[in-house]
Chains A and B, each alone.
Chain A
Amino acid sequence: MSDPAVQDALSAAEPVLEVTGLHRAFGSVRAVDDVSFTLARGGSLGIVGESGSGKTTTARIVVGLERADSGRVLVCGRDRAGHGGRAGHGRAERLRRAREVQMVFQDPFLSLDPRTTVGGVLRETLRLHFPGDRAGHERRTGELLDQVGLGSREAGALPRQLSGGQRQRVAIARALAVEPTVLVLDEAVAALDVSVQAQILNLLADIREQTGIGYLFITHDLGVVRCVTDDVIVMRNGRIVEAGPTVGVLADPQHPYTRLLLDSVPRPGWDPRQIAEARRAL
């Protein structure tokens, strides 16, 4: 985690990601209801919520896999959200959007092509975004693998020969190969064992320090949020119910839903019946 002085300097700088007034409805269900937030350069913002909160839809809109009904998504001042079919087409536009925001998915196995080797995955990306520099690609592939803690032995392996943690490292390397400004992590550690999760979280913290990339971290796990984010927003039923610095929100939650989420984390002396009642009351 960066120290407070740097933090202040960063938040004073122009935000790399600005989301304003995002709306998305599926039929009569408002999946995303007036969501706005910003992410500073090199910062890390967590979006916390349960299923149905709209956090995943929000992330997918930021990445470009979904269209918003209305609202703006600005990356470095450039508008991305192409609602109503105004999104630019064409190769250059597509590549530029990819270089703004990249994503690491939840399931490490399904997010990799089962027939492509690790080295092949990275080479594909490099060839797409940095064509014409073949020799440089080999070097860069080695650098990326090194950065995520994989070796040359893994470079020739297929996804099914790797463990969950290794596959997720490959997914991170693939996202980093594009050199994006923002990295969206959609429950990226939820499918991993606890000890592997710790390794990946440490790796992500290291990468953020090294590259200054911004994180948008989607998760339901408050422990993870505390570990890897500077700021957090809490979503419920499509709306933001609370936002602020992570440490502050988790130490002193203002909204009853946030308090309920905190209480729901199991610990010795936990009374689940109380939580069940509190949930019904909300």
Chain B
Amino acid sequence: MNEGPMREGPMSEGPMNPVLDIRGLRLHLPKTARPVLDGVDLTVAERETVALVGESGSGKTLTSRSVLRLLPPGATTEGVVDVQGESVLTMDPARLRRLRTHTAAMVFQDPRAAINPLRRIGDFLTESLRLNADLPAADADRRAGELLEAVGLSGRALRQYPGQLSGGMLQRVMIAAALMGDPVLILADEPTTALDVTTQAEVVALLGDLRERFGTGLLFVTHDLGLAAAISDRVYVMYAGRIAETGPAEALFNRPRHPYTAALLASTPRLDAPPGRLAAIDGRPPSLQEELTGCPFAPRCAFATQVCTEEMPPPLPVRGEPNRLVACHHSDRLADQLAGRTVHE
């Protein structure tokens, strides 16, 4: 029986307050044969880090952008996207602006593309607060200075231009900018992909510290399953606009229950795996011009049977692990195979 979307935060927390609650989100773009997002359920609680993992075309970026209603032109939506109980998809523009300034903030992948190279860092940080008349200029400047120090830069950076900072430092500036409005939710869209691996570690450490200090929830969108498993409390794996699997990070990484997750793990070159050929997944994700019946991963799945091409698998709890959901008809067979037992039809 479907128990509905996950609502659990870390086990030690008291009553659950989902900062972000997405239910049944469907997104249609013009001139496509299938919806880009097809029934996404996702929650983020206070102080929780949730990772959204997928490859290009999975819909992970659009999901995070829909939280701020940053949708492509011509998009139509169905379903619910609630931030702190308020519906984002039906908000009026004034309330939406307030949401984007104060309640939820986004950190983008390429800091150099997301910042105006002709304005100083200080101007960039205080701009939206000053324009929306929420803080007098002096207060805004003071807050900007405090946040720059919280992210590990000196106040001197206020007077500098983006071109004078490195990629890692600029990404810290973006994080400070996201925190300016004192948000309850931060959406990070591949924030470390454009950075060096050692800088990535620093930025991730920073996000963790800030989360504890300011109590924000974090939705971390990435294609790196290893990174997701290492830093988040819960992970959602997306494929072709749907959630394939979700659960606590460690459990999902060590005991995947969806063939796509397992295949993704097997095809990632890892330092602790034996050297040699990788178990690559044949084929490609379905294009938006193809209509889909049944499971989108079926054409590439080793466990696929007739039912997989006819019926869309609903998200069901995993046998023995109630806080995990997986959308697969044959998740049990996968579990058995991974546990080393042979499977007889």
Which residues of A are in contact with B by a Cβ distance under 8 Å? 1, 50-51, 163-165, 193-199, 201-202, 205, 220-224, 226-227, 246-247, 250, 260-270, 272-273, 275-276, 279
Contacts and interface: CB of A to CB of B under 8 A. Distances in A.
B280 A50 contact: no
B223 A265 contact: no
B195 to A, nearest CB: 9
Contacts of B294: none
B205 A199 contact: no
A157 B249 CA distance: 41
The 3 closest A-B pairs by CB, nearest first: A223-B269, A198-B267, A198-B280
Contacts of B267: 194-195, 197-198
A197 B223 CA distance: 12
B327 interface: no
22 contacts: A1-B276, A195-B263, A197-B267, A198-B269, A198-B279, A198-B280, A198-B281, A201-B278, A202-B280, A221-B197, A222-B197, A223-B270, A226-B271, A250-B271, A261-B197, A264-B198, A266-B201, A266-B224, A266-B231, A272-B201, A272-B202, A275-B201
Contacts of A198: 267-269, 278-281
B202 A194 contact: no
Interface string B248-259: 011001100000
B110 interface: no
A222 B198 CA distance: 12
Contact of B230 (A199, A221, A223, A266): A266
B198 A261 contact: yes
A272 B208 contact: yes
B284 interface: yes
Nearest to B55: A193
Given A193-B223, A195-B55, A276-B202, A220 B279 contact: no
Contacts of A276: 201-202, 205-206
Contacts of B282: 199
B276 A51 contact: no
Given A198-B267, A275-B198, A266 B226 contact: yes
Nearest to B205: A272
B271 A265 contact: yes
A237 to B, nearest CB: 13
B264 interface: yes
Contacts of A196: 55, 284
Interface of B: 55-56, 167, 196-202, 204-206, 208-209, 223-227, 229-231, 249-250, 253-254, 263-264, 267-272, 275-282, 284
Nearest to B269: A223
Contacts of A275: 198, 201-202, 205
A202 B55 contact: no
B237 to A, nearest CB: 12
Contacts of B272: 267
A227 B200 contact: no
B269 A268 contact: no
A267 B268 CA distance: 12
Nearest to A189: B269
Contacts of B56: 164, 193
Contacts of A264: 197-198, 200-201
B278 A220 contact: no
B51 to A, nearest CB: 11
A262 B82 CA distance: 40
Contacts of B201: 263-264, 266, 272, 275-276, 279
A272 B270 CA distance: 18
B231 A226 contact: no
Contacts of A273: 205, 208-209
A221 B269 contact: yes
Contacts of A263: 201
A194 B198 contact: no
A247 B271 CA distance: 10
B152 to A, nearest CB: 9
A3 B272 CA distance: 20
B284 A163 contact: yes
A193 B279 CA distance: 14
A22 to B, nearest CB: 23
Contacts of B249: 268
A279 B202 contact: yes
A173 to B, nearest CB: 18
A14 to B, nearest CB: 26
B271 A222 contact: yes
A268 B264 contact: no
Given A193-B56, A201-B280, A261-B197, 17 more contacts: A50-B197, A165-B284, A194-B55, A194-B223, A195-B55, A199-B280, A201-B278, A202-B277, A221-B197, A227-B269, A250-B271, A261-B198, A266-B204, A268-B253, A270-B231, A272-B201, A279-B198
